[in-house]
Amino acid sequence: MTSEATTQKMTPSVFANNVLAGTATGIIVGLLPNAVLSGILKLFGNNPITVQLTRVLVTFQFTTPLLIGALIALAFNFSKIDIAIVAGASYVGSGVTQFNPGAVHPVTKAAGLYLSNGTGDLINTMITASIAVGLTLLVGEKFGSVKIVASPIIVGGGSGWIGVIILPYVAKITVWIGNLINSFTDLQPILMSILIACMFAVILITPISTVAIGMAIQLNGISAGAAAMGVAAATIVLVVHSWKVNKSGLTLAIALGAMKMMIPNLFRHPIILLPILTTTIVSAVPVALFGISGTPASAGFGLVGIVGPLASISAGKASINIVMALIAWFIIPIAVAVLSRFLYQNVFHIYDEKIVFAYLGE
């Protein structure tokens, strides 16, 4: 049960990239099913089958910290036992399941229950997973034949315990960041919607996960709506410019969520940000004017799985109707993306889409 990671050259950059990559994938896998289907399932009311399916998806969402921990460990090429240990520690440190002494068991009437809710604190999940990975790399194979007993206790239990200790402090910082951004949106809705949308549009085509950022800082309301709109606008621009340049399968992949395939294009041809930011700025204005809202889970998805539009339609008192959603999420961004493409390429000749938007991965 030797970990191959111990034979690799480990640098801070490699360590951080592995943690971020595992976190991004884990969040998408854990959140996407409920994020995509929850709004649709609500349309069926109290139908027993859809109610049960909703509960299944919510329960699956609880496993997000576990998935993150496992995928982070997998990124380090850990052995099976080490992957399990990091995953378990990450779950514990996330706080997704906590002991509530005031709750009463419905059958035994005994006081105290372990209750699960949401996805826990994802920043603390990453910290706990990093601690578990660090301990695993430090210990290596020093436990020898007793590793199967010692590692789960010392590495798993130890890093999980540290995660639980620091959780209240990390959670306060996370909530503070989210509240600060949301308060700015309340004070300057148009300006902040534009800034948040532009930030997420740029992040979309970097190695950083927009979903992870949205969940980590707990964006909500108009802030989440603006973030999702930034992702949506950037996606539409990439599709519009890729349509005649790349293979249809690649363009379809971008439309369905593989926007990060264009990361090399951003670094080699940063001019692609011009139509992206132009479309994003215009598309963000309706977010503030119409009060388009979202949730932490929808903030980083945009149009993937129609998560952003569904969240704005099912936002309770802040919800918008389907017609408004079609206008805000599709008609305006598509119109601006097509217009910006025509102006920047055909009128002003600022760039050639056959060069700057051609997929560089082939």
Question: Which pLDDT tens digit goes with each residue over 297-330?
Answer: 889 889 987 889 988 998 777 789 999 999 999 9
Dist CA 36 CA 281 (whole Å): 26
CA distance 300 to 220: 11
Instruction: Choose the final residue of a domain: 118, 139, 174.
Output: 174
Both 30 and 150 in a single domain? Answer: yes
Looking at the chain, the whole-number percentage of residues with pLDDT higher than 90 is: 58
Q: Are residues 219 and 345 located together in one domain of the fold?
A: yes
Rg value, the chain, Cα: 22
Residue 192 in domain: yes
| Statement to judge: residues 346 and 200 lie in one domain | yes
Residue that terminates a domain, selected from 174, 200, 219: 174
- Tell me whether residue 180 is in a domain: no
Query: Once rounded to an integer, what is the mean pLDDT over residues 347-351?
Result: 96
> What's at 263, amino acid-wise?
I
**Beta-ladder partners of 100:** 113
Residue 42: give the domain boundaries: 4-174
- Of the pLDDT bands very low, low, confident and very high (cuts 50, 70, 90), residue 362 is low
pTM, whole model, 2 decimals? 0.72
Q: Is residue 183 part of a domain?
A: no
The confidence score (pLDDT) of residue 281 equals 97
Residue pLDDT, tens place only, 127-164: 999 999 999 999 988 999 899 999 999 999 999 999 99
CA distances from 265 to 280, 343, 346, 353 (A): 18, 20, 20, 11
* Sequence-ordered list of residues with C-beta below 8 angstroms from that of 178, at least 6 positions apart, any chain: 217, 218, 219, 220, 223, 296
Same domain, 250 and 296: yes
Question: What pLDDT is stored for residue 31 in this prediction?
Answer: 79
Residue in the structure block whose two tokens are 């388009």: 292
Q: What is the pLDDT of residues 90-136, one digit of tens each?
A: 999 999 999 999 888 888 888 889 999 878 888 899 999 999 999 99
For residues 248 and 148, membership in a common domain is answered with no
Q: Is 75 inside any structural domain?
A: yes
Residues 227, 324 share a domain: yes
User: Residues 320, 351: one domain?
Assistant: yes
Last residue of a domain, one of 129, 151, 174: 174
Residue 213 lies in a domain: yes
Q: Considering only CA atoms, which of 350, 329, 348 is closest in space to residue 279?
A: 329
What is the model's pLDDT at position 28?
A: 76
Residues 130 and 153 in one domain: yes
On whether both 139 and 116 belong to a single domain, the answer is yes
Number of domains composing the chain: 2
| Residue 230 placed within a domain | yes
Quote the pLDDT of residue 3.
47
Q: How far apart are CA 29 and CA 301, in angstroms?
A: 12
Average pLDDT score over residue span 13-33: 83
Which of 184, 204, 65 lies closest to 122, judged by CA?
65
In a domain, 53, yes or no: yes
197 in the same domain as 161:
no
Same domain? For 141 and 26 the reply is: yes
Please indicate, yes or no, if residue 182 is contained in any of the structural domains. Answer: no
Question: Do 11 and 158 reside in the same domain of the chain?
Answer: yes
